[in-house]
Chain A
Amino acid sequence: MISDRQHPTAVAGAGGGDLPRQSGEGAVRQPRVSLRGIRKTFGSHQALRGVDLDIYPGECLGLVGDNAAGKSTLTKVISGTYIPDDGSISIEGQEVRFSGPADARDRNIEMVFQDLSLCDHVDVVGNLFLGRELTKGPFLDRSRMMTEARAMLDALEIRIPRLSAKVEKLSGGQRQAIAIARAASFNPKVLIMDEPTSALAVAEVEAVLNLINRVKAKGVSVILITHRLQDLFRVCDRIAVMYEGTKVAERDIGKTDLQDLVQLIVGGQKH
C-alpha cells in the first residue's frame, strides 16, 4: 500500500551534511550518475536519441541547448519522472532501473521542475514536506513540520511570512523559492534544477547561485539548466550542450566562452 518513506529529520542547513567528495586529477573519478545511450520517444517524436552523460560528485554541470533540445526530458529521466525506452543509468557504479520518481528520491536525487510541481491548494509547509510528511501514526505532525520548515527556509534565507498560507496565494518568485527549498533541504546527492531562476529577481538569483556553490562544496552533484548563460560561468565546472535530442558537445568551463557556447547551441554554424 503506502510505503513509509519518512525522513528522520529535515536538515537545517541547505544540502545537509558533507558527502564524500572525490577530487584530484590523477585518481580515476567515479561518476555519481552515469547515463549511457539514453533514448526516449514520445509518439513519433524522438525526444532523446542516445545520450551519454556523466555527473561527478561536487561538481555543477550546466546543461544548455536550444528550445526542445531535450534538456528537460534528460533531467526527468535522471529523476525517475520519465522511464527511458533504452539505455542505462548507473549510480555510483551500480546500474539501476527506476520504476518511478519514488525510486530516484530514495536515492537522494532531487529535482526542481520547470513548472515547479507545487500543489496550489496545500500550504507552504505541506508543499515543502510533500511526499515525506512527518507523521505520528497516521496523523500529520504539523507542529514539527512547521518548525522544521521555518528552519529550512531560514537556512536558504527565504522569507515567507505565513507558512500556513496556500501556495496559490504566493508570488511566482516565492513559489520558485519553495520548489528550490524542497529539493535542496533533504540531503540531496544529486540536485537537478530546471530553470530555477526564471521567475526570480536579481537578488534571488544571487541567492540561488550561492546555494549551488554551497552545496557543491558539500559534495552534491548539481545539474543546472538555464538560458542565462552568464550564470553558468559563475557556478558550473562543465557544460554539456544538447541539440535535437543528442549531446553535441561537452566543455570544461575554463576552456570555453560565451561565443563558443552560443555557436554550439545554435548548431555549430560559423557566423
Chain B
Amino acid sequence: MTAYTERAAGSPVADFLSEHAQVLSIAVFFLACLIFFSVTTDTFLTLGNILNVLRQAAPILVVAVAMTLVIITGGIDLSVGSQVALVNAVAAIILAMGYPWPVVAVGMLAFGALLGMAQGWFVAYQGIPAFIVTLAGLSILRGFALYLTQGYSIPIKDVPGFFAIGRGEFLGMPVPALIAILVAVVGYVIIAYTKYGRQVVAVGSNLEAARRVGMPAKWIVASVYMVSGIACALAGLLIAARLGSGSSNAAVGFELQVIAAVVLGGTSLMGGRGSILGTVLGTLTIAVIGNGLILMHISPFFTQIVTGAIILVAIWLNTKIFTTNFRLGGRKA
C-alpha cells in the first residue's frame, strides 16, 4: 500500500529545539540576566537576596500559573489584581473578627473560586469576551475592596500561624516560595499529563472541534477562571500574611505583571500554546530584573521603563527571531 511514503525521520534534537524554542529562548534570557546582575552587583548573588526575590515573586508565580491556563484557552483575566486585593482585605477583616485562621484561609479559597466562577459563567455560558468581563471585574472587585475597607489598611494582629504562611521558613526556604513552587509543579503536571489539561489545550486550540468530540467545552472555559480565582485567593493570603495587614490598595498593577510573565514565557495570547515552565522562567526574569536594577542603584522610576522595554524586546525576539526567520538545524518548521 502506498498511501503515504515515509521520509527520513528528522533529527530528534532539531524536533526538540523547534518545539521548545520559546521556552529555550526565555531560559537563555533568564540566564543572561542572572549573569549580568551577578557581575555588575556585589549583593545580587547572595543567598539572602535570592531568597528575597523568591519570596517577592511567589504571589505573582501562583497567579501566573493559573493565568497560563486561562490564556491557553484563548482568554485573559484582567481582574486578578482586584481579586487579590479583595481577598486580601476580606481576609484581614474576618481575621480581625477573631475567626480561626485555617477556617478563614479555606473560606477565602472558596470565595476566590466563587469570584472566578462568576466571571467564567459570563465568559463561557453568555459568550461575552473575556477581556470585557474581567475588565468589569477589575473595576467592580477593586471597588468592593475599597468600599469594605473605606480605603484604610486593616491590621492583622496576633495570628502567628497565619503569618508563617507569608514570613516563615521551612528547610531554609521561604514558605511562600515553597507554596509557589508547589503550585507551579501542580500546574505543570495538570497541563502536561492530565485529561483536564488536554481539554484546556484542546478548547484553546479549536473550541468547536473540542465541542464536536463531546468535550464539555463551556464548562472547561468557565473552570479556568475558577482556577484563576482560587490562585488569586492564595496570592491574596500570601500577601496578607507577609505584610500583616489587608488593604484594598494591595496588588495594584498586579494583573499586568502576571500577564507579562506568562507572555514572556512563550504562551500565546491566541490560545492553544502555552508552557508552565516558560511561565516560571518569565516570572523569575521579571522579578530578577526588578531586583537587580534596584541593587544597581538605578532610579526606581527608571526601573519601570527598563522592565517594560525588556519585556517588549524579549517578546519581539520570541515572535520574530525564534519563529519566522530562525530555523533550528535548517529544518522548516
Binding site for B on A (CB under 8 A): 1-3, 5, 79, 81, 100-102, 105-106, 111, 113, 117-122, 126, 130-133, 135, 138-140, 142, 157-162, 165-166, 169, 174, 177, 203-204, 206-207
In the complex, the chain B residue whose C-beta lies closest to that of A204 is B3
**Chain A residues positioned under 8 Å from B213 (CB to CB):** 101, 105, 117, 130-132
Residue B195 CB within 8 A of the other chain: yes
Residue B169 CB within 8 A of the other chain: no
Could you mark each residue 196-213 of chain B with 1 if its beta carbon is under 8 Å from any beta carbon of chain A, else 0?
101101101110111111
> Which of A81, A117, A140, A177 contacts B194, CB < 8 Å?
A140
In the complex, the chain B residue whose C-beta lies closest to that of A138 is B194
Q: Which of B197-232 contact A (CB under 8 A)?
A: 198-199, 201-202, 204-206, 208-216, 219
Query: What CA separation (Å) do A2 and B4 show in the bound complex?
Result: 37
Interface residues on B, range: 35 or more
In the complex, the chain A residue whose C-beta lies closest to that of B333 is A169
Query: What CA separation (Å) do A111 and B211 show in the bound complex?
Result: 13
Binding site for A on B (CB under 8 A): 1-7, 9-10, 15, 19, 193-196, 198-199, 201-202, 204-206, 208-216, 219, 272-273, 333
**Chain B residues positioned under 8 Å from A121 (CB to CB):** 201, 204-205, 272-273
A203 touches B209 (CB 8 A): no
A108 to chain B, nearest CB (A): 12
**Chain A residues positioned under 8 Å from B204 (CB to CB):** 121
A66 to chain B, nearest CB (A): 25
B4 touches A177 (CB 8 A): yes
In the complex, the chain B residue whose C-beta lies closest to that of A126 is B198
**Chain A residues positioned under 8 Å from B4 (CB to CB):** 157-160, 174, 177, 204
In the complex, the chain B residue whose C-beta lies closest to that of A165 is B15
> Which of A5, A135, A158 contacts B3, CB < 8 Å?
A158
Q: A101-B211, A101-B213, A203-B2 are in contact. Are A122 and B205 (CB under 8 A)?
A: yes
A119 touches B211 (CB 8 A): no
> Which of A1, A106, A119 contacts B205, CB < 8 Å?
A119
B9 to chain A, nearest CB (A): 5
B219 touches A1 (CB 8 A): yes
Q: A138-B196, A177-B4, A207-B1 are in contact. Are A131 and B208 (CB under 8 A)?
A: no
B28 to chain A, nearest CB (A): 23
Q: Pick the most buried of A111, A174, A207: most chain B CB atoms within 10 A of its CB.
A: A207
In the complex, the chain B residue whose C-beta lies closest to that of A102 is B214
Query: What CA separation (Å) do A165 and B219 show in the bound complex?
Result: 28
A138 touches B208 (CB 8 A): no
A139 touches B195 (CB 8 A): yes
In the complex, the chain A residue whose C-beta lies closest to that of B274 is A121
A162 touches B3 (CB 8 A): no
In the complex, the chain A residue whose C-beta lies closest to that of B4 is A159
